[in-house]
Structure 1
């Protein structure tokens, strides 16, 4: 039987490692999006703060929501628990305190990535070296995940790690959709809005590394309804909300004390699917995504209450 504190740390290692990669990918794609859009369209870097619901934390320490401050906040600010530096250090600490359940190579790799991010964080703040810095971080995260998948026994520790990873992925996908819809609403009255919408939807797919697989599955020109439908409902793409939540429910079913929570999470998953309609767009779509994020938080709370009550 796995100790509750070990299970919890494996869970958070999965969440924080996924968060490092998703933050790096989101910054990289947003950078490319601003480059691709017409010069007359000025999207704010502050959108990256808002979609993560970090407005209060940002405004406590920064007076100006410009690119440099947003980059510093998302990459190198230790006061922000979701920054890349904070997340990689939290992932490292969770692995360090449970080293006996993780492959030894993962401990070395996560140390290397931790030192790289801390030592080179300033490269991500300025544009000149940002691309190389973010790509190195993404590759580092993928290398660690690859070693975990190939070398870690698929026991209870793996299941809790997988719970954290999939919950974080579902949350990331929902927030990226919200960011795209917010950007489209911001430019909807501009003359360039029609062409710019397609650019935004394409970059949304790229932010999740989904553009290639979307084209294979849909075989049609990119439009908002198809993109959102794919990222929420597709059963095969690893980062779609439906696939992440299906993985979550299945993983729960493999763990002890799981009958009640598996049914509860299944009910939440079914409600998310039932309430989604492909004709949702604009503010109603943002309202749906906001409710989706609340349901994901509810899933997290149920996981905590079921398996980590002494540490809540």
Structure 2
């Protein structure tokens, strides 16, 4: 399989997943703050931290407001992680590998892009983002279903699956981190209705509320963290994502779990083993923020070694490996080898 094809399919899936997650964050935060602007107005600023773009936002907009954050996250093409930018980048990657993806997939990506671009021109989410966010999530899920049902489950499919799951693990870790450190209630709010609403909002951002209730019942911060970080069966839990991403990696390389021929397999296996043998008590003792920060650093390293092992052309390896690499979750990786 050509490295340019693997890279394009991998990033197509990552960008679509990223767009969906940003829509999730906007939707849940809007519902959480609706009618409570004076009390919860500061909760719009943390959404920018979720995507890791607080520096760029401050440079472009200065002080955060609901309108500014919505514009920045939904439509601003200067923001590489806005919904519009992500869908446009996914479409460009898909266009470059039309021979690899299926016609229904290309049609859905194109329809997705035209829908977001049309909404951007009308400025719809600035006043009422719920319908727009629902449309983004539905478009993403439709593409996921078409990918599963119409594309052969070979190398290209597994590269797409691996990229999607890595992006999902990153965004789940970020929203957990933000909830613990930027949206924590005051001492008098702990255990109150407001506190439960906030933790419920975190679960809803991952479509996890119903499954959490089925397993744990009452909402507590410790169990919410245990579910979103360590659960092996829920599709948006960090542990689930890494296990399934490793499965796809093994399908690509042909290696058995626990062995490695590539640096990527070693890094992925180490990350999976840490999640396998970590308890929520260990995480709390270490500190949630410190644990998430370590996890994101490992994801960034994993992104780098995937790029080096599978996407670099042999003639470019030395030159590119010496250049600085930014956080995979904060900036788009340029796909120079697409042409």
TM-score when scaled to structure 1? 0.92
Alignment of 1:211-250 (within 5 A): 211-218=209-216, 220-250=217-247
In structure 2, what is the equivalent of residue 89 of structure 1? Answer: 88
**Partner Cα separation in structure 1 for residue 267 and residue 284 of structure 2:** 29
In structure 1, what is the equivalent of residue 68 of structure 2? Answer: 69
Cα distance, 1:65 vs. partner? 1.1
Contact 2:30 2:129 in 1 (8 A): no
Cα distance, 1:24 vs. partner? 0.6
Contact 2:225 2:280 in 1 (8 A): no
In structure 2, what is the equivalent of residue 252 of structure 1? Answer: 249
TM-score when scaled to structure 2? 0.85
Structure 2 CA distance for partners of 1:283 and 1:262, relative to 1, 3 Å: closer
Q: Which runs of 4+ in 1 moved over 6 A?
A: none
In structure 2, what is the equivalent of residue 11 of structure 1? Answer: 10
In structure 1, what is the equivalent of residue 137 of structure 2? Answer: 138
**Partner Cα separation in structure 1 for residue 52 and residue 99 of structure 2:** 35
Contact 1:92 1:114 in 2 (8 A): yes
User: More displaced, 251-260 or 141-150?
Assistant: 251-260
Contact 1:34 1:43 in 2 (8 A): no
User: More displaced, 71-80 or 272-281?
Assistant: 272-281
Cα distance, 1:38 vs. partner? 9.4
Cα distance, 1:250 vs. partner? 0.9
Contact 1:229 1:278 in 2 (8 A): no
Aligned residue pairs: how many? 307
**Partner Cα separation in structure 2 for residue 149 and residue 54 of structure 1:** 32
Q: Does 1:299 align with 2:334?
A: no
In structure 1, what is the equivalent of residue 176 of structure 2? Answer: 177
Q: Which blocks of at least 5 consecutive residues in structure 2 are unaligned?
A: 321-339
Cα distance, 1:130 vs. partner? 1.4
Cα distance, 1:36 vs. partner? 8.0
- 1:78-120 Cα distance to aligned partner (Å, 9 max, x none): 1111000100000001111101111101111111110110111
Cα distance, 1:192 vs. partner? 3.0
Cα distance, 1:243 vs. partner? 0.7
**Partner Cα separation in structure 2 for residue 230 and residue 126 of structure 1:** 32
Cα distance, 1:217 vs. partner? 2.1
**Partner Cα separation in structure 2 for residue 74 and residue 38 of structure 1:** 19
In structure 1, what is the equivalent of residue 98 of structure 2? Answer: 99
Contact 1:123 1:130 in 2 (8 A): no
Contact 1:33 1:200 in 2 (8 A): yes
Q: Which secondary structure does the structure 2 equivalent of 1:101 belong to?
A: coil
Q: Which secondary structure does the structure 2 equivalent of 1:99 belong to?
A: coil
**Partner Cα separation in structure 2 for residue 203 and residue 228 of structure 1:** 13
In structure 2, what is the equivalent of residue 285 of structure 1? Answer: 288
